[in-house]
Chain A
Amino acid sequence: MTPVQIIFLLCAALILASALMVVTTRNLIHAALWLVAALFGVAMLYAILDAGFLAVVQVVVYIGAIAILFIFAVMLTRREMRDRGPQLRKDWWLAALLSLLVFAGLAFLLVTQPGVNRSAAVMPEGLDTLGKLGAALVSPDAYVLPFEVASVLLLAALIGAVYVAASKK
């Protein structure tokens, strides 16, 4: 066991435990806070994977914006749901069975793939991944079109969200 493996295993334990709490805890505010913990674990994974920019984006966008949005939505709607009855459907065991089957299928597929235990490709010496990422996002022969489409999609979605959520008198 090398130190980075131990750090990975700690991250994985944090992510999986928090994710389980997200889907099982009764109080939705607590579920949203557990989601923050899981997202933070994923940000640590990005840092281990040499994707520092994505780790920062994960903290800023997911934890800073999306999780807070969830907490606001829970607070705007929680009067009805607070501790009234079970939070899981009656046939939750079916869902659990299906999820276990999906996990078993994916894991089986993964371990039978050749080359799945490969170690990381060597990072070329002096590779500026952040600079290359920025250039790739705006260069016409790379990904400027998907990037712009994503921005238009986000703008349209936010305008739509404001329109849908606004109270019409």
Chain B
Amino acid sequence: MSIPLSWYLILSAALFSIGLFGVLARKNAIAILLGVELMLNAVNVNLVAFWRYLEPAKMAGQVFAIIVFAVAAAEVAVGLALIISVYRRRKTVIADEIDLMKW
């Protein structure tokens, strides 16, 4: 293991920023969720890297990563269900046009 910890952290910062760009710049609601997935993966890379580099004998980092997996699965299921439901009623998946609750 001759990789410095900073390589993982920089990589995950870059992945997080790319996901952030996707969330902010995309029009399609499904594409926004794809960006959220990239951000969650960046977080998980960080968690596992810290686990391996600081405390490999304790499992806290891996357990937290598994909980992030479960939350990501829940988030995708609910998010896509909402998008499909909105599409069925309003025939659009463009986030800007889903403005029923916009004040």
Contacts and interface: CB of A to CB of B under 8 A. Distances in A.
Interface residues of B, number: 75
A70 B72 CA distance: 13
Contacts, number: 257
A51 B56 CA distance: 10
B70 interface: yes
Contact of A42 (B28, B30, B41, B96): B41
Interface in B37-64: 37-38, 41, 44-45, 48-49, 51-57, 59-60, 62-63
Interface residues of A, number: 89
A67 B9 CA distance: 25
A95 B45 CA distance: 23
A80 interface: yes
A2 B67 contact: no
Contacts of A157: 73-75, 77-78
B52 A121 contact: yes
B98 interface: no
B40 to A, nearest CB: 9
Interface of A: 2, 4-5, 8, 12, 15-16, 19-20, 22-23, 28, 31-32, 35, 38-39, 42, 45-46, 48-51, 53-54, 57-58, 61-62, 65-66, 69-70, 72-74, 76-77, 80-81, 86-89, 92, 94-96, 98-100, 102-103, 106-107, 110-111, 116-121, 123-124, 127, 129, 132-133, 136-137, 142-143, 146-147, 150-151, 153-154, 156-158, 160-162, 164-165, 167
29 contacts: A16-B15, A22-B34, A23-B19, A23-B35, A23-B38, A31-B34, A39-B37, A42-B44, A45-B45, A54-B44, A65-B73, A74-B30, A80-B87, A87-B31, A92-B25, A95-B21, A107-B13, A111-B6, A116-B9, A127-B56, A127-B57, A136-B59, A143-B60, A147-B63, A147-B66, A156-B74, A157-B78, A161-B81, A162-B81
